């Protein structure tokens, strides 16, 4: 089964996840929506990926969904969101505010594999804001300081991505388009 993985990422966590999923699934085309477009019509399934940045999914993913909504609704579809939160209500808000309800209501698979703050890829302002945010979150959970603002902070889970890929692959085998 041929799968399209269309994603958008700010600093690379969604891109890293797309590459990992492609390695598991095999017959895939991976498209960075900031660099190009792909019509999903010729694919058996579609996976959409986005990093959450500033509490929002990437604009390119939203635009892709609007442009191809009719085609997407005819296929098994999965979504992964790379973000640092594990709070269900917050993740649900990201999903519902970022994607058309028609897609959210018929997902084959959904995954939040974790996220990353790649300090080494950020400018000065992003680094400092992210350091303050990350340490503030850690403090609010009763933990200590977790970053110096220089070392990348990555929580991406290969196990969660593998489980997501199995759900997508299993659905394609049962329901070929």
17 and 104 co-located in one domain: yes
170 and 101 co-located in one domain: yes
28 and 75 co-located in one domain: yes
CA 157 to chain centre: 12
9 and 90 co-located in one domain: yes
Domain that holds residue 145: 116-154
Mean pLDDT score, 105-124: 89
Q: Supply the pTM of this predicted model.
A: 0.86
pLDDT digits (tens, 9 = 90+) for 14-56: 999 999 999 999 999 999 999 999 999 999 999 999 999 888 9
What CATH number does residue 83 fall under? 3.40.50.360
23 and 62 co-located in one domain: yes
Whether 94 and 62 have beta carbons less than 8 Å apart is answered as: no
Whether 2 and 26 have beta carbons less than 8 Å apart is answered as: no
pLDDT digits (tens, 9 = 90+) for 72-82: 999 999 999 99
Tokens at residue 65, please? 């969904």
Name which of 61, 110, 52, 109 is nearest 83 in CA terms: 52
Q: What percentage of the chain has pLDDT greater than the value 70?
A: 89
């Amino acid at each position: 089964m041929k799968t399209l993985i269309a994603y958008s990422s700010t600093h690379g966590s969604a891109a890293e996840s797309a590459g990992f999923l492609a390695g598991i699934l095999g017959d895939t085309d991976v498209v960075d929506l900031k660099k190009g477009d792909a019509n999903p019509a010729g694919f058996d399934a579609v996976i959409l990926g986005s990093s959450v940045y500033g509490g929002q999914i990437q604009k390119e993913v939203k635009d892709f969904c609007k442009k191809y909504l009719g085609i997407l609704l005819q296929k098994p579809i999965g979504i992964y969101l790379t973000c640092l939160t594990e709070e269900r209500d917050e993740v649900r808000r990201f999903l519902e505010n970022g994607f058309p309800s028609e897609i959210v209501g018929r997902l084959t698979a959904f995954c939040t594999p974790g996220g990353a703050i790649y300090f080494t890829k950020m400018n000065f302002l992003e680094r400092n804001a992210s350091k303050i945010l990350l340490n503030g979150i850690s403090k609010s959970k009763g933990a200590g300081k977790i970053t110096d603002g220089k070392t990348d902070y990555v929580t991406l889970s290969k196990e969660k991505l593998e489980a997501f890929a199995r759900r997508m692959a299993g659905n394609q085998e049962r329901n070929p388009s």
